[in-house]
Chains A and B, each alone.
Chain A
Amino acid sequence: MTQTLPPSPAPGPTTDTDTTLLVEDLVVEVLTEHGWATVVDGVSFRVARGETLGIVGESGSGKSVTCLSIAGLMPARQTRVRATTLRVLDHDLTALTPKQMDDIRGPRIAMIFQEPMTSLNPAFTVGDQIAEVLRRHEGLSRRAARERAIALLDRVGVPSPERRYRQYPFEFSGGMRQRVMIAIALACHPDVIIADEPTTALDVTVQAQILELLRELQREHGMSVIFITHDLGVVADVCDRVLVMYAGQIVEGAPITELFEQPRHPYMEGLLAAMPRMDQPAGELASIPGHPPRVGAMPDGCRFHPRCRYADDRCTGGGSPELVQLGPTHSTRCLRHPELTLRGTP
C-alpha cells in the first residue's frame, strides 16, 4: 500500500470543499551573507475547516518561516517566496499585491505570536488596537467598534473589559496580553488562525488557560488553527494532525495519536525519546546526537542522515528522498521506512 507520488502530495482530508488553506510546493529563500539560501524547501499541506494542524521541529527547522510566508509577513527585500498553490478558501494568495494581502490578513488569516509584549503597540491603548482591526476590515463606526472590542475582551476572559479597554499593554500581564492578541486575531472571524508558539513565553498554569480558551473558541467559530510549537506536550494536548519539519522540509505527517504511537521517521522517534516525562520516574534521557544542518550547508541524501542511528549507504548520497505516502493520512521522508520498526510513546 506504499506508493510514491512525486511531487510531494499534500497529506490530509481529500474533500476539497472542506479545505480552508492549501499549500503546494512552497519554497522560501532568504538573503544571507553568502547569497540566497533555501530555508523552506517544497512544503505542501492542507488544513481542513475546524482542524488543528500542528507543525513541530527544532529551532531553525523552517516552521515559523513557512507560516510567515503564507501570511505574507516575511520582509520582501530579503525573501523570495514561490509556491505552486497558496490558497485560502478561493483566494489565490500568490496572485495578490501587498495591498490586497492586507485585506486577507484579518478576515481570512490571522496570526498570534509568541511574544505578546512586542506584538502590541505600547503607544496605543489595548482597546484602540482591537477597534482598529474592526474599523479597517469591517468599516464599523468608532462606537460600534468600541462595543465589539469590549465584547471580544470579555469573551477572551479579560476581567472588567470596559476599564481594560482604556489601558495600555504595559498594564497587562503576559497571559492577559496574549488574551488581547487572541481577541485581535479573532476580531474579524478569520478562517485560519496561525498561532506561532503562542504559549511558549507563558507560565504553565497560564499556558493551560490559553490552550483551553483557544479550544473553546475553535469549537464556537469552527476555524482552522495552525499551531507551531516545539513542545510535544502541547501538541499532544491540542492538535488533530501534525507535520514534523526538519531542515526546511516536512519529514513526517500523521494524525496525532498515530504519530506518537507509531512514528515512521527516525527524527520523530528521536524527538519522542528526548522528551523528559513528568508523569514517569526519571529514566535515561536520549538525545539526538549532533546539530541540525546550517542553512546553505545541507548534507547530500537524506538531510537527517548525519544524526540518524539507522542511516546506511542509501541514505548518504544523491538528492533528498521524496515524501512517501504510507496511507491516506500518514507520510514519511525516510528511505528505510519499510524495514524499520520505530518506537513511539504509549
Chain B
Amino acid sequence: MSPVDTDKGAANGTAPDATALLQVRDLVVSFPGRRRPFRAAPPPLRAVDGVSFDLHEGETLGLVGESGCGKSTTARGVMRLIEPAEGSVRLQGRELLGLPPKQLRAARRDVQMVFQDPYSSLDPSMLIRESIGEPLDVHLQLGRQEKAERVGELLRRVGLPPEYMMRYPHEFSGGQRQRLTIARAIAADPKILVLDEAVSALDVSTQNQVIGLLEELSAAIGLTYLFIAHDLSVVRHISDRVAVMYLGQIVEHGDAARVFDSPTHPYTEALLSAVPVPSPRVQRSRERIVLSGDPPDPSRVPSGCRFHTRCPYVMDLCRTEVPQPTRAHGSGEVACHLHTSGPTLAGASVRSLGAARRQRVPA
C-alpha cells in the first residue's frame, strides 16, 4: 500500500489542503465478492469507491446516505478498522495508511469512535470505571488515584455524577449509556470523534440531550466531528458541512445550509423531499419526488453515472459517461452531468429545473 502523495489530492477538484486536520483522498474499501461453485472468482465489491474529503479543526462534517451507501464503511476505513485497499488518510499531514501497528495505535488516540448501539458497545461485565478507564490505560498510563479522578471528571463532563463509576452498564438507560460511550471516547483527549449513527437509537428528547452534549463538548474542548447519520433533520441541525453518498461515492458536498436549501444533485433533491416535515400544512403542500426501486446492488454498479437508473432527469449521456465533480454555487462540489450538459445548470440548484423536466423512471 503506497501512500499517495499530497499533490494527487485533486480527487474531487479540491487542492490539497494543508490546514485540514484530517484529509481523505481517493479512499477505496473493498470486500471479496461472494464465490460460487464452478464460477470464476467475482471481482471485489468496492463498498467505498474513491471517497475524498477534508475535515477542518472544530467543524462538524455530516456524512449522509441510505443504508448500504458506504458511509459507515468510509468511517471504518478512515479508522483502519477495515483496511482500505487504496487511497490516503492523513491526520495532521501524517499518512495513516501503511503505518505499522504500534504507531497506528498511538495515532488512533487522536481519532475515536462512538457507535450506534449503546447496549452492545459497553462491556456488561466491566464497571463503568473500568470501561472508561481503559483508553487511559492504553494511552496515558496514569496512577490509580489519578485515573479515578480523571474518570470522575469525564463523567461530570458528560453530565453524569462521578459516583456512577462504580456501577455496571445494565443500570443505565440508553441515553445515559450513550453519554458513557462518549465519555470513554473523549477519555484520552482525541482531536476527532467519528460518530456512527450515535443518536439514531434514542428517543427524540433523549437524542436532543445527547446532541446538546456534543455541541457543548465541541465548544468546550474544541472537538471535531465526523457525524454519520441517516436522519437528515438531525444532520442539518448539527453539521457545518455535509457530504451526500450514493453507492460508495460522494455525489455532492458543501455547507449544510447550501446543500439543504439548494441541492445540486438530483439524488440529494430526492432524498430531501422524502423526509417528512413535522408540520401537516407544510408536509401536505410540499412537492414530493418518489424515487422508484431500491438502490442498486453494490456488486453490480450501473455504468456511467451510478444514479442514472433512478434519476428523474436522466439523459443519454448519463448512461455511459461517469460525471466529474464540478463547483456548486455557494460552496462545495457536485458530480452530475446536468451541470455541464443538457440544461447546463453550472452549479445552480436542481430545484430550478422544476417538476416538468422530471420523468418517472420505471423500477
A287: B residues at CB distance < 8 A? 205-209, 212
Is B282 a contact of A275 with CB atoms below 8 Å?
A: no
Contact with B along A255-273 (1 / 0, CB 8 A): 0110011000000001110
Interface size class of A (residues with CB under 8 A): 35 or more
Interchain nearest-CB distance for B64 vs A (Å): 10
| Cα separation A282 to B237 with both chains bound (whole Å) | 5
With both beta carbons as reference points, the residue of chain B lying nearest to A57 in the complex is identified as B203
Shortest CB-to-CB span from B315 to chain A, Å, is 21
Interface residues of B in 204-224 (CB under 8 A from A): 204-209, 211-212
The interface residues of chain B lying within 8 Å CB-to-CB of A276 are 208, 231, 233-234, 236-237
A279 lies within 8 A of B277 (CB):
yes
Of residues 79 to 112 in A, which have CB atoms within 8 Å of B's CB atoms?
A: none
| Selected interface stretch from B18-26, B102-110, B288-296 | B288-296
In the complex the two chains form, is B281's CB within 8 Å of A208's CB? Answer: no
Interface centre among B234, B280, B292, B294 (most CB of A within 10 A): B280
**A6 interface contact, C-beta 8 A:** no
Q: Is the CB of A203 within 8 A of B230?
A: yes
Complex Cα spacing A78 to B198, Å? 34
Residues of A within 8 A of B238 (CB): 282
Given A230-B203, A278-B233, A285-B212, do A346 and B173 touch, yes or no (CB 8 Å)?
Answer: no
Q: Closest residue to A234 on the B side, CB-wise? A: B276
Q: Which residues on A sit within 8 Å (CB–CB) of B175? A: 291
A167 in the interface (beta carbon within 8 A): no
From B5-13, B44-52, B161-169, B267-275, give the one contacting chain A: B267-275
Q: Do the beta carbons of A260 and B290 come within 8 Å of each other?
A: no
- B272 CB contacts on chain A under 8 angstroms: 278
* B340 contacts chain A at the CB level, 8 A cutoff: no
A288 to B207, CA, bound (A): 10
Residue of B204, B260, B276, B295 near A274 (CB, 8 A) is B204
B363 touching A272, Cβ below 8 Å: no
Contacts of B280 in A (CB 8 A): 236, 256-257, 260
A230–B276 Cα gap in the complex (Å)?
13
A207 is an interface residue with CB less than 8 A from chain B: yes
- Assess whether B209 is in contact with A278, with CB atoms less than 8 Å apart: no
Judge whether B274 and A207 touch: CB under 8 Å.
yes
Bound together, the chains give a CA A276 to CA B275 distance in angstroms of: 12
- Which chain A residue shows the least CB distance to B240? A282
Known: A281-B257, A287-B208, A291-B206. A209 touches B290 (CB 8 A): yes
What is the CB-to-nearest-CB distance from B270 to chain A, in angstroms, rounded to a whole number?
6
- Shortest distance in angstroms between B273's beta carbon and chain A's nearest beta carbon? 8
Q: Does A176 contact B (CB under 8 A)?
A: yes
B residues within 8 A CB of A288? 205
Collect the chain B residues with CB atoms within 8 Å of residue A272's CB. Answer: 278
What's the Cα separation between A153 and B36 when bound, in Å?
A: 30
Q: Is B125 an interface residue (CB 8 A)?
A: no
CB distance from B271 to the nearest CB of A (A): 6
- Taken together as a complex, chains A and B put the C-alpha atoms of A277 and B237 apart, in Å, by 8
Nearest residue in A to B205 (C-beta to C-beta)? A288
Distance between Cα atoms of A329 and B5 in the complex (Å): 68
CB distance from A239 to the nearest CB of B (A): 8
Q: Does A295 contact B (CB under 8 A)?
A: no
The answer to whether B278 and A206 touch across the interface, beta carbons within 8 angstroms, is: no
- Chain B residues near A257 (CB-CB < 8 A): 280-281
Q: How far is the CA of A291 from the CA of B363 in the complex (A)?
A: 44
Q: Mark B139-177, 1 if CB is under 8 A from A, else 0.
A: 000000000000000000000000000000000010100
Interchain nearest-CB distance for A243 vs B (Å): 15
Say yes or no: is A139 at the interface (Cβ < 8 Å to chain B).
Answer: no
> Is the C-beta of B284 less than 8 angstroms from some C-beta in chain A?
yes
Complex Cα distance, B234 from A212, in Å, reads 24
Q: How far is the CB of B190 from chain A (nearest CB, A)?
A: 24
Q: Is A138 an interface residue (CB 8 A)?
A: no
Q: Is A231 an interface position by the 8 A CB rule?
A: yes
Q: Say yes or no for B232: interface residue by CB 8 A criterion.
A: yes
- Interfacial chain B residues near A174, Cβ < 8 Å: 67
Decide: A236 and B279 in contact? CB cutoff 8 A: yes
B283 at the interface (CB under 8 A from A): yes
Contact B208 A274 (CB under 8 A): yes
Q: How far is the CA of A345 from the CA of B208 in the complex (A)?
A: 18
Tell me the bound Cα distance from A257 to B283 in angstroms: 11
Question: CA A274 – CA B206 in complex, angstroms?
Answer: 9
A residues in contact with B257, CB < 8 Å: 281
Check: A204 CB closer than 8 A to any chain B CB. yes
Closest partner residue, chain A, to B260 (CB atom): A278
The answer to whether A232 touches B278, judged by C-beta atoms less than 8 angstroms apart, is yes
Residues of B within 8 A of A175 (CB): 294
A204 and chain B: residue at smallest CB distance: B274
Nearest B residue to A294, CB-CB:
B173
- Which of B204, B205, B291 is A205 in contact with, Cβ under 8 Å? B291
The chain B residue with its CB closest to the CB of A237 is: B276
Interfacial chain B residues near A237, Cβ < 8 Å:
276, 283-284
Q: Is A328 an interface residue (CB 8 A)?
A: no
Q: In the complex the two chains form, is B276's CB within 8 Å of A176's CB?
A: no
Q: Which residue of B lies closest to A201 (CB)?
A: B67
Contact A274 B277 (CB under 8 A): no
A319 CA / B280 CA spacing, docked (Å) = 34
Contacting residues, chain A, for B230 (C-beta < 8 A): 203-204
B66 at the interface (CB under 8 A from A): yes
User: Are B67 and A278 neighbours in the complex by a CB distance under 8 Å?
Assistant: no
Q: How far is the CB of A188 from chain B (nearest CB, A)?
A: 27
Q: Within the complex, what minimum Cβ distance (angstroms) separates B362 from chain A?
A: 9
Residues of A whose CB lies within 8 Å of any CB of B are 58-59, 157, 159, 173-176, 203-209, 211-212, 230-237, 256-257, 260-261, 270-272, 274-279, 281-282, 285-288, 291, 345-346
- Closest 4 CB pairs between A and B? A233-B276, A287-B208, A232-B278, A203-B66
25 A–B pairs (Cβ distance < 8 Å), ordered by A: A58-B205, A205-B66, A205-B274, A205-B290, A208-B274, A209-B290, A209-B292, A230-B203, A230-B204, A236-B276, A236-B283, A256-B280, A257-B281, A274-B204, A275-B278, A276-B233, A276-B234, A282-B236, A282-B237, A282-B238, A285-B211, A287-B206, A287-B209, A345-B278, A346-B282
Contacts from B to A (Cβ < 8 Å):
66-67, 173, 175, 203-209, 211-212, 230-234, 236-238, 256-257, 260, 270-284, 288, 290-292, 294-295, 363
Given contacts A278-B272, A287-B209, 15 further A-B contacts (CB under 8 A): A205-B290, A207-B274, A208-B274, A208-B288, A209-B291, A233-B277, A236-B282, A257-B281, A272-B278, A276-B234, A277-B277, A278-B277, A282-B256, A285-B208, A291-B175
